[in-house]
Amino acid sequence: MLLAEFHCHTIYSKDSLVAPEKLIAEGHRKGIFKLVITDHNTIKGAIQARHLAPQMVVIGEEIMTKQGELLAFFVKQEIPAGLDALTTIDLLREQDAFISVSHPFDLYREGHWDEKDLLEITPYIDAIEIFNARCMRKDFNRRAESFAIKHNLLGTVGSDAHTLIEVGKASLLLPEFNDRNTLIEALASSEKRVSLSMPWIHLTSRYAVWKKKLMRT
C-alpha cells in the first residue's frame, strides 16, 4: 500500500507560491509515493515537475467549467477553463483521463456544484472528492461522501495544498497505479489518511494572489 496525494498546486496556480521542485521535495520528505499536481486550468507546473520526478508525479488539472470545478488525473492535453462541464468531460475522456469533482458541496468556494448539475454529469465521471482538507465546514465533506455512496461513485481525497505545510493532510493509502484503469482498481481498496487544515490557511492563497499582482505592477 502506497501513499498518494491527489490534489496539490504549484506556482502555476494563481493562488500558490510553491515551486514544483519544492513540492516534490516535500512529498519525498513525507513519504508520498504518487503526487498528483492539479493546478488551476493549466498543466504547466505538473509537466515541469514530471520532468524532475517522472515516477512520482502524475499530471493533473483542476478545471473550472460553467457548472463547477472538475479534478482530472493523467491529463495529456491541457483543457481550457469556461467550457460546459459535459464538453470538458468529453475532452478528458478522449485522453483517457480519470475524472473526479473537487469539493463539490463547499459553498464557500467558487467552483462548488449545484446538485442538479452534479447529477447530470454523474454517469460520465469516475469519482468525486469525498474529503478536501481546505473545507471549513465538516458537513461539506460529509455531504460529498454521502453523495458518492448513494450514487455508487468512487471517492478521492485531497489536501488541496497551496502551501508546503498542507501537503499530505488528506491522502490515500492504496496499491500502485499508473493510469486511469489501474487507479479505478486501486481506489476500491484504498484507505483514507485525512485531517482538516486550519481555516487561516486560506489567507496564504489570498497572499499569493496579492503578491503576484504586486510583482506584475
Express each pLDDT in 13-45 by its tens digit: 999 999 999 999 999 999 999 999 999 999 999
Query: Rg of the chain over CA atoms, in angstroms?
Result: 16
Span 84-104, average pLDDT: 98
pLDDT at 34: 98
* Of residues 60, 124, 55, the one with CA closest to residue 97: 60
Integer angstrom CA distances of residue 69 from 21, 66, 89, 137, 165 = 26, 8, 11, 19, 24
- The model's confidence at residue 217, banded by pLDDT at 50, 70 and 90, is confident
Give percent of the chain with pLDDT exceeding 90: 99
Element (DSSP H or E) covering residue 212: helix 202-216
Asked if 92 contacts 60 with a C-beta cutoff of 8 angstroms, the reply is no
C-alpha cell at 36: 498528483
* Of residues 67, 18, 4, 14, the one with CA closest to residue 42: 14
Q: Which domains does the chain have, with CATH numbers?
A: 2-216 (3.20.20.140)
Span 58-79, average pLDDT: 98
What does residue 186 show for φ and ψ, rounded to 5 degrees? -65, -35
- Per-residue pLDDT tens for 151-177? 999 999 999 999 999 999 999 999 999
Task: For 39-115, list the strands marked E by DSSP.
Answer: 57-64, 69-73, 98-101
- Per-residue pLDDT tens for 113-150? 999 999 999 999 999 999 999 999 999 999 999 999 99
Give percent of the chain with pLDDT exceeding 70: 100
What does residue 143 show for φ and ψ, rounded to 5 degrees? -65, -40
pLDDT at 143: 98
Question: What pTM was estimated for this model as a whole?
Answer: 0.96
